[in-house]
């Protein structure tokens, strides 16, 4: 397996989850609280959201900031590293739109 192909796979490992692109998409717009993400993507279960966020955190894409306050408050945002995904997401998105438009 040559380097070019496995680099594509590496990228897909990061953004390839069912909800990860959606999370990244929202976080590209700005910081979100956990509950906000849940409202924005009601089809993702809480567990899935948590799980995918953890993975993205582990991979250095999102930052998780816990405010030690009374009702817990946790904010998620893209790390600088995560922001380097922007061009990738843009291409993916552009292609996806064209694809959906020309739907047979």
Partner DNA sequence: ACAAGTAGGCACTATTTTGTGCCCTAGTCC
Partner DNA sequence: GGACTAGGGCACAAAATAGTGCCTACTTGT
Query: Would you tell me which residues interact with DNA (CB under 7 A)?
Result: 17-19, 33-35, 38, 43-48, 50-54, 64, 66, 70-74
Q: What's the helix, strand, coil split of the chain in %, to 5?
A: 60, 15, 25
From the CB of 97, what's the least distance to a second copy, in Å?
Answer: 4
Q: Which residues bind a second copy (CB under 8 A)?
A: 1, 3-12, 14-16, 21-22, 25-26, 41, 43, 60, 84-85, 87-93, 95-100, 104
Element containing residue 63 per DSSP (H, E): strand 62-67
**Can you give the C-alpha Rg of the chain in angstroms?**
15
Structure tokens at 56: 């993205």
Question: CB under 5 to 8 A by kind: which of a second copy, DNA, none does 53 bind?
Answer: DNA
């Amino acid at each position: 397996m040559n380097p070019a192909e496995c680099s594509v796979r590496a990228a897909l490992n990061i953004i390839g989850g069912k909800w990860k692109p959606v999370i990244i998409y929202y976080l590209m717009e700005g910081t979100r609280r956990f509950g906000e993400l849940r409202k924005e993507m009601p089809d993702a279960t809480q567990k899935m959201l948590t799980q995918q966020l953890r993975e993205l955190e582990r991979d250095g894409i999102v930052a998780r900031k816990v405010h030690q306050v009374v009702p817990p408050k946790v904010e998620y945002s893209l790390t600088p590293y995560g922001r380097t995904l922007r061009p990738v997401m843009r291409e993916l998105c552009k292609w996806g739109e064209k694809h959906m438009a020309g739907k047979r």
